[in-house]
A and B are shown apart, each in its own frame.
Chain A
Amino acid sequence: MAVTELAGNWFHIAEAEFQVQTSGIRTHRRVVVSCSIVLGIIWALLIAPNLIGYFLTEVLETPQSVVAMVMPGLMRAGIMFIWIVLLILPLSNALQEVKVGQWEILLSHRVTTRGILVGTFVGRLSIYGLYVLYLAPILVAPFAEALVVSYMGQALMYFTVFVITVSTIWLSNLIVTAIQSKLAASSRGKDLAKALAIVLSLVAILPLVGLQLFAPTMSEILGLNVFLLFPFTWGADLVTQTAVAFNGIGLPVAGLDATLGLNPSADLLLLGGFSIFIVVIGLLSADRFFIIGEGARTESVTTIRRENIVLRGVRRVSSGSFGVLIVTGLKDFGRKAENLSRLALFMVLTLMVPVFIYIRTGEFELTSVSIMMSLMLGFLGVQVFGGAGFLESKDQLWTIRAAPHGVERYVRAKAIQSILLIIPVVLPPSVLYAVLLRLSLGQVFFLVSTSFTSCLGGALVGIGIAAGNPTYEDTKSGAYRTNNIRGMGVVAVSFLWYLIADVVFSMLGLSDFMNYVWASQTLSILAQLIPLPIVGLIVILVGQHRLSELE
């Protein structure tokens, strides 16, 4: 009997992982990936340096000395961004759909745990490596071009970025595996994993927002010695040191160590040592990671106690069967860590966006705060109350459809649930801005009302779209993404309708009416906010109709 070579099994796992990663282009996988690699190399070696070089010297006319001066800070920020993207995105993606069932299949064959770890790493490396192939030249080429770095120097710069990339993907793969082995055994763990994925997505976008809004401050922050503890700093500084060491404009190397904090040998030693360390740790601890769960009987069981005061209150107000539907819906929503995580994420964004406006414009005023908060709360409504939280599975839909008027009552109960959940969501940001802007009681009421109306409008849009095109819990499906884009689009367009109205009214010779509306602060805010709940009502009715339609 032929026995598969044990040592080569990682390759088959890598191949399978690669097929999973590229399943979206499976019909033209070879052609698309090959072309992407060839194009990436051409981009890195020819297009990016010439294009960016032309832009720097001809368009911006940036002096070489200025480029040299900003290089250390920008390199640290850029490499930090690549590092976070490579670390967080795979982690966030993997946590969205935690599956350890495949491990059981793999481990039932002659496969070592190291083989699984190496195989999944190599499979992911090829795709995430492509991202870096396109991103790295944007970072490296301007400096290579401005400092006229020799080919040898450029090769070393790219090699350093390559080492950072590979070690970060390995680290990310290691963390993903460790978290999966801890969380995936139970459905509660899977729920926590999804919640964590949402929080991580915020962590991934924060550096981007930070770079946009606080670039100078961030450069200062990244210049602090505390960042010498992070691997991305060692890599970034090594790229800077290589560029200066191989520059063609006579830039002196002396003094660079003092600016960066460590000399090239130390950076090289730290980066190399760190990379080797995580590889060794991964290989040595592979047996600890790939553990099969112990089964349903050994899982911790959550037992439900007495209902809280809010639920008891709802039961008292709506004592019939519809009240029961609302209460069970609220329980189901509130017990999913994923829902609470998404809610918290959007609340943080709602609180932050007006602050960003203040940083940009230097002033706080009620109209812009109200509009921005309402827009964010509209998005919150779509994201939190539609999408994944609407229906868990198609089988649930059959159960609901099997009841008389089941769909209508279910969708109506969902809408009422969202109203009850929106109240505590809207209050904290409104109170914060009431204090910051020193608003009168009337203005506070106005802010709360506009925020509530927009959030509810967004929720109705989200529920309606999810009802019209249910995606269940599959957050990776194309339908889920389409629903999300549609929902956000409807909210955005509802807020911008006044621009269209302005044009239409002008064409009809009714410009005076619009001028009257814009002259009043209250009317102008209302003109922007009222369409969303109306559109929401229409969308939810259409969605409900579609959900109850027979196949």
Chain B
Amino acid sequence: MKTENLSITTQALTKHFGSVKAVSDLNLRVPVGARFALLGPNGAGKTTTVRMLTGLMKPTRGSGSVCGYDIISQKDEIKAVTGLLPETPGLYSKLSAAEFLEFIGALNHLHGDVLHGRIDALLSILGLESRRNDLLESYSSGMKQKVLIASTLLHEPRVVFLDEPTSRLDPSASVLVKDLILALAEETDTTFFICTHITSFAEDVCDAVGILNEGELVAVGTPDTVIEAAHAQSLEEAYLKIVGGKIDREALLAWR
């Protein structure tokens, strides 16, 4: 299989936690510079997939590569070329935004003027310049999310994994993140792998989507092909048809 223009590939990637099948036989091909959204309900296996692809978790079986590096044997090489925005913020409450980004930069072997220049630029783009020296404990959840997004992009990764990037953001901040993703993908060939359950975000930003349900990839393609295949009008409708979850009105009031 030719993988030259592919950023992420997986073959029968599987992860079991005891008897729980978190991810089963996942086969993915994400080209360089693509914006791929992995949709799915809570517990579908999206975060587990990201953790396996970023070298944080060992697959039970199967294989995969990111930027040509093997996800099992070349974890450190993968970490050097990827950025990860975790699902929940793991910030240091007693550091300021600038100090936290300095810490993340140092973890990625950055320091000096290069690091400080990038911190200044990212905080400015994300509208956090005036609060850069305030302790993170006083930040709202949206501001914390912005700091985390900055930390993900700080070392200029070739592949960015974003786990629910806009779940805590207000509409204007969400638009800012969308524009940032589009600009980076188009100008720098950065690949984005985005886990989300916000179908409108995936439809607006991504050129390819996959729907994961109970660990299995049940649909994959461009948003239009997925909508068409499900005989739906929108991605949300297609998602509900594929994953289920639509409950009729009578059942909704049955608890009374």
Contact = CB atoms under 8 A, between A and B. Distances in A.
B94 A322 contact: no
Contact of A321 (B51, B80, B91, B109): B109
A398 B79 CA distance: 12
B76 A550 contact: no
A392 B90 contact: yes
Interface in A399-426: 399-406, 409-410
A325 B80 CA distance: 17
A328 interface: yes
B111 A321 contact: yes
Interface string B11-54: 00000000000000000000000000000000000000001001
B53 to A, nearest CB: 11
A403 B108 contact: yes
Given A303-B133, A304-B99, A320-B111, A399 B138 contact: no
Contacts of B102: 324, 328
A303 B138 CA distance: 10
B105 A396 contact: no
Interface stretch (B81-89, B171-179, B231-239): B81-89
Name, among B54, B93, B105, B115, the residue most crowded by chain A CB atoms within 10 Å (CB to CB): B93
Nearest to A333: B94
A301 interface: yes
Name, among B57, B99, B110, the residue most crowded by chain A CB atoms within 10 Å (CB to CB): B99
B170 interface: no
B79 A402 contact: yes
Contacts of B138: 186-187, 296, 299-302
Contact of B56 (A304, A324, A393, A401): A401
A335 B135 contact: yes
A409 B58 CA distance: 21
A130 B241 CA distance: 57
A540 to B, nearest CB: 19
B93 A392 contact: yes
A406 B79 contact: yes
A320 B76 CA distance: 20
Contacts of A322: 106
B54 A402 contact: yes
A101 to B, nearest CB: 14
Contacts of A188: 137
B78 to A, nearest CB: 8
Interface in B80-126: 80, 82-84, 86-96, 98-100, 102-112, 115
Given A188-B137, A397-B90, A321 B57 contact: no
B201 interface: no
Contacts of B83: 402
Nearest to B155: A403
A482 B188 CA distance: 49
Given A297-B140, A304-B135, A395-B90, A324 B54 contact: no
A383 B243 CA distance: 49
Contact of A399 (B75, B104, B111): B104
Given A188-B137, A404-B76, A406-B79, A398 B58 contact: no
Interface residues of B, number: 48
A305 B132 CA distance: 11
Nearest to B57: A551
Contact of B86 (A301, A398, A403): A398
A332 interface: yes
Contacts of B94: 191, 331-332, 335-336
A394 interface: yes
Given A331-B95, A332-B94, A406-B107, A301 B58 contact: no
B151 interface: yes
Contacts of A335: 94-95, 135
Given A321-B105, A332-B95, A404-B109, A302 B90 contact: no
Contacts of A187: 93, 137-138
Interface in A499-544: none
A536 B55 CA distance: 29
Given A395-B89, A405-B76, A400 B107 contact: yes
Nearest to A402: B84
A296 B58 contact: no
A312 to B, nearest CB: 14
Contacts of A403: 79, 104, 107-108
Interface in A320-373: 320-325, 328, 331-332, 335-336
Interface in A267-316: 296-297, 299-305
A187 B139 CA distance: 10
Given A304-B135, A404-B80, A393 B90 contact: yes
A398 B95 contact: no
A403 B155 CA distance: 10
Interface of B: 51, 54-58, 75-77, 79-80, 82-84, 86-96, 98-100, 102-112, 115, 133-135, 137-140, 151
5 contacts: A302-B135, A304-B99, A304-B134, A331-B94, A404-B108
Interface of A: 186-188, 191, 296-297, 299-305, 319-325, 328, 331-332, 335-336, 392-406, 409-410, 550-551
Nearest first, the 5 closest Cβ-Cβ pairs linking A and B are: A395-B90, A324-B106, A403-B107, A396-B90, A335-B94
